[in-house]
Structure 1
Amino acid sequence: MLQPGIVLTLEPFEEIDKKEEYRCKVVDIEDGKLFIDYPVSIQTNRAVFLMEGMQLAVSFLDPAASSAVFLFRTEVIARVKKKIPMLVLQDPGLNQYVRIQRRKFVRVQKAIDTAVHFDGMPPFSSLTEDISAGGAAIVLPNSVQAEPGTEAIVYGVIPSQQAEPFYFEAKAELVRTHQDEKSGRCIGSFEFKDLPYTEQQILMRFCFEQQLRLRRKGLE
C-alpha cells in the first residue's frame, strides 16, 4: 500500500472539473500523516503552492497490485522542513481508500513510433496499432519470425502537447500474432514486463487523454 517513494496524483477536490493535477512523492508516513515533497503541476511542470486546509482528491497505483488504482480524499494540514521542505497531508486510513479494480489497462488505437529488439535478432523500427500501460500491438515486418513467449525490448516515443516527447524502454513478451484482415499486416501483441511505476503512470495518462480526445471529437 502507501509507502515512501510512491507517486501521488493530486486534484483540488472542489475543482476537479478543471482537471488541474499535481504530482508528488510520498517522503514519509507517520501517525496518520503523509509527508510529501512539494507538488509539481502536471500541466506546467512547475512547483505549486497549496494552502493549509486545501481539500484534495488523491489517486495512486499500488505497486503490489498494478491493476488497482486507489482513491481517497485528504487535506493539507501543515508545512514542515526536515531534510527538504514538505507538505503534510492527512491520511484517512485504509478503510477510506476506494479501490478501483482494472482487469485491463485502457487501450487506445494510436500509431506510436517504436523499435523492437528480439534477443538474437536485428532490431527493427515499426508503429503500434494500439497501446496501453500494459502492452502494445505492434506491426511486425514479414522478415520477423518469432514465436509467442519470445522476449523482447520495446522502445517507444510518446508525444506530448505540453512537454518534450517521452521516451520509454520496456521489457516485453510476445503474447500472440495475427494477420490484420484489412491491411494484411502481421500484428504482434506484446505484454510489458516490470515497467517502472512512473513510466506506467505516464502511459496510463497518455491513453486516458487520447480516449478523452476521441470522445470530444465524437468518434466514440
Structure 2
Amino acid sequence: MLPKVNQILYMQVNSVDPEEAQQEYKSRIADINENYMSLEVPLHVGTGKLKRLYAGDQINAYYITEGGVKNYFNTVILGFKEEVIRLVLIKPPEPEQITKVQRRNFLRVPAELEIAVKVTEQVMFTAITDDVGGGGISFLCEGRMPVKNHDMIVCWLLLPFRNGAIDHANFKGEVVRIKALENGKLIVMVQFAEIADVERQKVIRFCFERQLDFRKR
C-alpha cells in the first residue's frame, strides 16, 4: 500500500555523522503526485524542533498502515515549495521499493557482522553474525564458549551503512536455540529481550539497505 495524503511519515537522514543519522523526524504528507510527494517541514520526534533539510539529502523513511505494519523506503529530497507553509518535496516510492515490516514478523537478512557478546562479567567474547533482523540475530562462535539456552546476554552489534557511516546497536537478548555444527562451532540464535526503539531502528535500517543490495544483484 502506497502512502496517502495526511499520513505521518517518519524519517532519518543519511549522514556521515553517526549521531545525526540516529535522529528520527516526522512529517505529515500534504500532497502526492507522480513527480513528487510534498511534506510539511519535519519535526524531531523527541524535541519537536524543526529539521532543516537540503536538496539531495538521502532519506530513510517509513509510514505505518493497518495492523501496525511499517512500510520502509529510501528517497531523496528534490527541493522545496513555498505555499501557505513551506513544503519539502521528496521522490515518491515505487511499490516494489517498499519493504513491509510487521512487529511480529521482522525482516531478517543474512549478514556477517562483528558482534561483542557479554554472558557474565567474567565471560565476554566476539563473534560473527549469521543473520540479522529487527526481532533478533544469530551468530557463530567457538564450541568452547559457555553459552546455553535461555541465557540473557548483552550484545553490541557493529552496523555498516551504505553511506559509509558505521554505528553500533546494543541490546539484551535471550538465547532461544543453539545448534552444534560439524566444524565444531555453534550457531546461537538470539531474540531481543530489551532493546530501545532507536537501537532497533538501526538494525531495521541495516536490513532494509541489505535487502536493497540483494535486489540489485
Which residue in 2 is equivalent to 1:206? 206
1:145 aligns with 2:146: yes
Which residue in 2 is equivalent to 1:38? 51
Label 1:204 to 1:39 Cα distance change in 2 as closer, same or farther (>3 A): farther
Which residue in 1 is equivalent to 2:134? 133
**Count of equivalent residues:** 169
The share of aligned pairs that are identical, in percent, is: 21
Q: Secondary structure at the match of 1:111?
A: coil
Does structure 2 retain, via aligned residues, the 8 Å contact 1:115–1:154? yes
Does structure 2 retain, via aligned residues, the 8 Å contact 1:134–1:192? yes
TM-score, normalised by the number of residues in structure 2: 0.60
1:25 aligns with 2:44: yes
Unaligned 5+ runs, structure 2: 1-7, 9-22, 73-81, 89-99
Aligned-residue Cα RMSD (Å) equals 4.3
Does structure 2 retain, via aligned residues, the 8 Å contact 1:116–1:155? yes
Q: Secondary structure at the match of 1:148?
A: coil
Report the residue type matching 2:131 in the other structure: D
TM-score, normalised by the number of residues in structure 1: 0.59
Q: 1:128, 1:101 → 2: CA distance?
A: 22
TM superposition shift of 1:153: 0.7
Which residue in 1 is equivalent to 2:114? 113
Q: Secondary structure at the match of 1:212?
A: helix
TM superposition shift of 1:177: 0.4
Does structure 2 retain, via aligned residues, the 8 Å contact 1:159–1:166? yes
Does structure 2 retain, via aligned residues, the 8 Å contact 1:153–1:169? yes
TM superposition shift of 1:158: 0.5
TM superposition shift of 1:179: 2.4
1:59 aligns with 2:59: no
TM superposition shift of 1:77: 8.3
TM superposition shift of 1:103: 3.0
TM superposition shift of 1:150: 0.6
TM superposition shift of 1:25: 2.9
Unaligned 5+ runs, structure 1: 29-34, 47-56, 81-86, 88-98
Report the residue type matching 1:25 in the other structure: H
Report the residue type matching 1:205 in the other structure: R
Does structure 2 retain, via aligned residues, the 8 Å contact 1:172–1:192? yes
1:8 aligns with 2:26: yes
Which residue in 1 is equivalent to 2:188? 188
Report the residue type matching 1:175 in the other structure: V
TM superposition shift of 1:185: 2.5
Label 1:27 to 1:122 Cα distance change in 2 as closer, same or farther (>3 A): closer
Label 1:214 to 1:120 Cα distance change in 2 as closer, same or farther (>3 A): same
Does structure 2 retain, via aligned residues, the 8 Å contact 1:153–1:171? yes
